[in-house]
């Protein structure tokens, strides 16, 4: 049993859900939500802050500022509180209320951008605000999760080797793409150490990350309105795009079996199970990464009115949710 003295010291990095019983799909889901930040973003936040301190960029009296759709903001709120920095999180109106309240409870200041930039959307408007703040006061330090190499290095150092240790026979790894820190860290490690493993990126339909046109996206976490600076497409073997309605349906299917995950997990699992269903996957070893858990999505993904208003009345059709093959 670990004993810790700062919150970022604890992270459950070796928990997998075998989805064969749940979905009939030969897929292991690596859970990244069991830490005090509740998400995979604790790793990137910790690595970026530690590196900025070592480089002398972050010093006593510095104020962290970061654009985040929520999870990195929570992770930085925790680390800032633990290390004695002030932190201002810049988010937008799609940020879940629960996530915002969580950051405030941890002592962060939350700035919500409500007007998207006509060309670069909410992200562009958030980044413009961050740049203004940094220009106005030299105490502000922007780690810039979108281009900070320490974000992918965190996964290169921890996530990918942890998966490889647990699954020496791994054939395919499904990773969601937001800033692509998780994807790039894992893809680089496997290309270096286990090049036979197929790296499949899972993106939200309507994201421009891999060169497809922009469209409305309401789930935070995956997808970008600008090309992710960290992304090196040559390290990715395949890209899947998943509709938000399918991601939400998958979240509800998992919840019906007692596994409450966030929207990006629904996206990755939906993409992975469709990919596996198109092949004879019986002998394949497949792993997908679940970035967070579902409690922060109770007012969105798990609210039937929110879902019906955005995606139509039949998205949560009872037949879609039944697993069919469940044992008595």
Ligand X SMILES: Cc1ncc(COP(=O)(O)O)c(C=O)c1O
Which residues contact ligand X by CB under 6 A? Answer: 39, 41, 69, 71-72, 176-183, 221-222, 262, 264, 291-292
Closest to 24 in 3D by CA, of 276, 252, 196 = 276
Q: Which of residues 47 and 292 has its CB atom nearest to ligand X in the complex?
A: 292
Q: Which of residues 151 and 281 has its CB atom nearest to ligand X in the complex?
A: 151
CB of 22 to ligand X, least distance (A): 20
CB of 34 to ligand X, least distance (A): 14
Q: Which of residues 62 and 148 has its CB atom nearest to ligand X in the complex?
A: 148
Between CA 147 and CA 288 the distance in angstroms is 24
* Positive or negative torsion for Cα 261, 266, 272, 273: positive
Q: Which of residues 36 and 281 has its CB atom nearest to ligand X in the complex?
A: 36
CB of 2 to ligand X, least distance (A): 24
Between CA 69 and CA 235 the distance in angstroms is 25
CB of 245 to ligand X, least distance (A): 18
CB of 248 to ligand X, least distance (A): 14
Between CA 306 and CA 232 the distance in angstroms is 35
Q: Which of residues 229 and 312 has its CB atom nearest to ligand X in the complex?
A: 229
Q: Are 4 and 250 in contact (CB under 8 A)?
A: no
* Positive or negative torsion for Cα 170, 174, 180, 182: negative
- Considering only the C-alpha atoms of the chain, give the largest distance between any 2 of them, rounded to a whole number of Å: 63
Query: What would the DSSP string read from start to end of 121-168?
Result: HHHHHHHHHHHHHHHH-TTEEE--TTT-HHHHHHHHHTHHHHHHHH-T
Q: Which of residues 183 and 315 has its CB atom nearest to ligand X in the complex?
A: 183
CB of 8 to ligand X, least distance (A): 16
CB of 322 to ligand X, least distance (A): 27
Q: Are 255 and 262 in contact (CB under 8 A)?
A: no
Q: Which of residues 272 and 281 has its CB atom nearest to ligand X in the complex?
A: 272
Q: Which of residues 11 and 179 has its CB atom nearest to ligand X in the complex?
A: 179
Q: Residue 110 CA to chain centroid, in angstroms? A: 20
Query: What would the DSSP string read from start to end of 47-82?
Result: HHHHHHHHTTSS-TT-EEEEE-SSHHHHHHHHHHHH
Q: Which of residues 58 and 288 has its CB atom nearest to ligand X in the complex?
A: 288
β-bridge pairing 238-242 and 286-290 = unpaired
CB of 111 to ligand X, least distance (A): 17
Helix (H, G, I), strand (E, B) or coil at 100: helix
Closest to 100 in 3D by CA, of 285, 259, 245, 299 = 299
CB of 41 to ligand X, least distance (A): 5
């Amino acid at each position: 049993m670990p004993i810790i003295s700062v919150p970022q010291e604890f992270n459950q990095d070796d928990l997998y859900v075998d989805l064969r019983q749940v979905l009939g799909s030969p897929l292991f889901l690596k859970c990244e939500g069991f830490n005090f930040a509740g998400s995979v973003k604790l790793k990137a936040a910790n690595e970026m802050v530690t590196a900025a301190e070592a480089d002398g960029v972050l010093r006593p009296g510095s104020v962290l500022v970061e654009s985040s759709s929520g999870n990195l903001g929570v992770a930085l709120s925790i680390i800032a509180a633990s290390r004695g920095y002030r932190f201002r999180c810049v988010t937008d109106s799609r940020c879940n209320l629960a996530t915002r309240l969580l950051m405030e409870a941890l002592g962060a200041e939350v700035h919500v951008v409500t007007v998207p930039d006509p060309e670069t959307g909410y992200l562009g408007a958030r980044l413009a605000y961050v740049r203004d703040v940094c220009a106005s006061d030299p105490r502000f330090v922007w780690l810039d999760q979108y281009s900070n190499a320490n974000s992918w290095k965190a996964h290169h150092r921890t996530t990918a080797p942890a998966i490889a240790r647990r699954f020496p026979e791994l054939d395919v790894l499904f990773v969601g793409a937001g800033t692509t820190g998780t994807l790039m860290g894992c893809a680089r490690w496997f290309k270096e150490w286990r090049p036979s493993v197929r790296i499949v990126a899972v993106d939200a339909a309507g994201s421009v990350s891999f060169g497809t046109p922009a469209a409305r996206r309401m789930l935070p976490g995956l997808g970008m309105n600008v090309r992710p600076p960290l992304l090196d497409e040559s390290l990715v073997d395949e890209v899947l795009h998943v509709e938000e309605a399918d991601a939400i349906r998958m979240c509800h299917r998992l919840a019906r079996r007692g596994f409450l995950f966030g929207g990006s997990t629904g996206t990755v699992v939906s993409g992975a199970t469709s990919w596996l269903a198109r092949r004879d996957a019986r002998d394949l070893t497949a792993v997908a990464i679940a970035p967070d858990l579902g409690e922060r999505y109770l007012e969105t993904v798990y609210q039937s009115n929110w879902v019906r208003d955005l995606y139509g009345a039949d998205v949560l059709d009872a037949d879609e949710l039944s697993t069919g093959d469940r044992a008595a």
